Structure 1
Amino acid sequence: MAGGNERWSARTRAIVAGRPSGQGQPMNVPIAPASMLGLEYAREDGTPTWAAFEAALGDLEGGDAVAFASGIATASAVLDAQRVGARVVVPRDSYAGTRSHFAHEQDAGRIEVVSVEPGDTGAWLDAAARADLLWLESPTNPSLHVTDIAAVAAAARELEHRPTVVVDNTFATPLGQQPLSLGADVVVHSATKFIGGHSDLLLGVAVAGDPERVTALRQARTRLGATPGALEAFLALRGLRTLPVRFAEASATAARLAQRLAEHPAVSRVRYPGQGAMLAFDVADAERADEVCRALQLVQHATSLGGVESTMERRAARPGDAHVAAGLLRLSVGLEDPEDLWADINRALCSVN
């Protein structure tokens, strides 16, 4: 399979990495709907479709990738390497599904969970002194807080017990940041979101630079039965091929919307980290936020994100996100015309102001 080249940009490598090479090879890796490869089950060593997707994403993140059936399956595999009773530090504002999973593991007595403010580097450093695993998410879902990954990772490396540093890179994507280059041990993604990009698959992926960690992740995938489907891996790779152009376009639109929202009288706060296709903004209260969602005609009132369509949701209404500001609206910016998006959002805001 063709690999990336350090002289090529991420945009080019997203196209060529993991592609079959040699005369007579197909342009794309075929879907491999096989449960057996020779004398081994496919769950043991994967399929050519998985391998192609893993090669391409690993190239962009700077490590070796391991695909899983979902983002939560990926988190489960990472936890699988921790001892019983391990102390896991997580950001207080982060994906509710991950926090719910960790809370379940804590209730079962498998881990101890400690929460810190995502943007408080001092709190991370204090917690790291007694932690086994530091689970960072930057920017966070849904409030778009940013954590100093490099500072936390550097501090963890200096500790004698060397806690594992994991970064959920779903919002930033490997185009926004490469946490392994900042000192993280493992990077995780919900490939369901921006990597797949079309709201048509469930897939997770972990990337690590240490071969032993990669082997452990693959072994956990097998033990947990968290293997990705052949079609899902194929679709995720196809989505990854266009990620650079999709992400650049959506990010440019998000920046324009963030600027206009900051000037709107119905908006009290805009949360935008300066790059990426995700933003959030606050209106006066939950009632007005719900009215804005109901008034939308182009932007989809939906819970997922990262697709070609723009979606908006009041996250505090979702289970597990009661800590989120009541009037916060999370916006995933898609590929619609920026002026059409603004007209829709502005009209919805003006209808409740």
Structure 2
Amino acid sequence: MHIHPKITPIYQTSVFKFEDLNELEQYFGEPGSRYMYSRNGNPNSDELAEAVNQWEGGAGAIATGSGMAAIFAALAACCQAGDHVLCAADIYGGSSSLLNQELSRMGITVTYVPFEQLYELEQFVQPTTRVVLAETISNPLLRVADLQRLATECHQHGLKLVVDNTFASPVLTRPLALGADLVMHSVTKYIAGHSDVTAGVVVATDPELAARLKQISILYGLTLSPMESWLAVRGLKTLRLRMREHSHNALALAQFLQEQPVVRAVYYPGLPDHPQHALALAQGSGLFGGMLSILLADETEVVNRFMHRSQRFPFAPSLAGVDSSMSYPLGTSHRYLTPEQQQQLGISPGLVRLSVGIEPVEELLADLEQALR
């Protein structure tokens, strides 16, 4: 009986069988010819990695157990003990914690570069600097990096550029095409898209770097499980449609929020007065994504009232699901920064980040209107 499934089944197995020693030798002699052990690779995680690799136009990719594992793999592929990393100051809090608390113990040091100085790296570069880590759209203030300009600057100094493309997704921006060396995603967010998967992916533009990622993934045990991989592949199939709706809804909400007296500022690249609006328009394929932040009064009581009143934006510290949510950067993603760092980045008690879903936009507008009232 021949079974020809249209969709790749879930290979929920930790190990694959061999007929004899000849097949074992084939496994080692012809990489990619067959499977042995799910940590080394399985059909589902390979399918996800290859799907994102195609989207991003890379030479190879790995799927990992989380976005944090993806950041770790990307940095480990470029650095060893004694090396130095430059990191955009506007970065996901988990990325800075990884660098500060863990990679520092492995002898990898970090310097944070203010957003305004990202394209003038000379003063920050040391003889041991290997890599620059930045985000396409920063978390939580939605600053947009000029990736082509940044890649040119990195390569002039012999550095590799690693881009976290989670907020944009490859629908908006494809960093490798703009000169980046590695691009990573928290697949948990837009790629899987339904708040039911924890996963990451790293894509390399160079085959050698891709092979290095694969080695790190196997030896550190980062490979994503079959079930999670299958769900993420399923989510990825609607990414293009979802990003359109996320972007459409977020722009409508940003325009509405700008008109509200109690909202002191709206951070959204789709607004004409956003400092990088023109860049976001050019680099974002005419879409601006589903993430925006607002500044309310710098009083936790005001934020709490807003959270209690809103019905369509539950306080859930993640993002990019089809259902809307809100988060509080000061208390979650950026709580481990010093008060000075928080202040420098503009992360204050009144800052609330909205992840705008794909619900009917009039329902979201009505909910925010009553919550702000």
Q: TM-score when scaled to structure 2?
A: 0.83
Pairing 1:77–2:73 present: yes
User: Partners in 2 of 1:158 and 1:298 — Cα distance?
Assistant: 47
Decide which of 290, 304, 320 is 2:336's aligned counterpart. Answer: 320
Determine the structure 2 residue equivalent to 1:59.
54
Q: 1:279 aligns with which of 274, 281, 292?
A: 292
Within a 5 Å distance, the mapping from 1:97-116 to structure 2 comes to 97-116=94-113
Distance 2:117 2:258 in 1: 25
* Percent identical: 38
CA contact (8 A) 1:300 1:309 kept: no
Structure 1 length as normaliser, TM-score?
A: 0.88
Q: Which residue pairs with 1:179 in the alignment?
A: 175
Displacement of 1:109: 4.8
Which of 165, 168, 173 is 1:169 aligned to? 165
Q: Cα–Cα, structure 1 residues 115 and 203, in superposed 2: closer, same or farther, change >3 Å?
A: same
SS, match of residue 151 in structure 2 = helix
Unaligned runs of 5+ in 1: 1-22
> SS where residue 50 of structure 2 aligns?
helix
CA distance in 2, matches of 1:254, 1:55: 30
Aligned residue in 2 for 1:88: 85
> Alignment RMSD, CA only?
1.7
Instruction: Check the 8 A contact 1:167/1:184 in 2, yes or no.
Output: yes
Secondary structure of 1:36's aligned partner: coil
Partners of 1:102 and 1:153 lie apart in 2 by 21
CA distance in 2, matches of 1:83, 1:338: 48
CA contact (8 A) 1:120 1:147 kept: no
Q: Give 1:93 shift.
A: 2.1
Give the aligned partner of residue 32 of structure 1: 11
CA displacement at 1:286 relative to structure 2: 3.2
Distance 1:289 1:47 in 2: 45
Q: Check 1:337–1:128 CA distance in 2 against 1; reply closer, same or farther (3 A cut).
A: farther
Tell me which of 262, 265, 269 is aligned to 1:269.
265
The alignment covers a number of residue pairs equal to 325
What is residue 306 of structure 1 aligned with on the other side?
320
Post-superposition offset of 1:25 = 2.7
Change (3 A) 1:28 1:271: same
* Matched residue, 1:148: 146
Q: Counterpart amino acid of 2:124? A: A
Offset at residue 120 of structure 1 (A) = 3.5
State the Cα deviation string for residues 294-336 of structure 1 (Å, max 9, x = none): 2211211110111111011221122225511221110001111
- Tell whether the 8 Å contact from 2:257 to 2:263 is kept in structure 1 after alignment: yes
The 1:51/1:183 distance shift into structure 2, 3 A limit, reads: same
Mean Cα deviation higher: 177-186 or 148-157: 148-157
5+ long unaligned stretches in structure 2? 19-23, 25-35, 271-287
Counterpart of 2:292 in 1: which secondary structure? strand
CA contact (8 A) 2:91 2:138 kept: yes
- Larger deviation: 307-316 or 85-94? 85-94
Return the alpha-carbon distance in structure 2 between the equivalents of residues 340 and 93 of structure 1.
32
2:303 equivalent among 289, 296, 301: 289
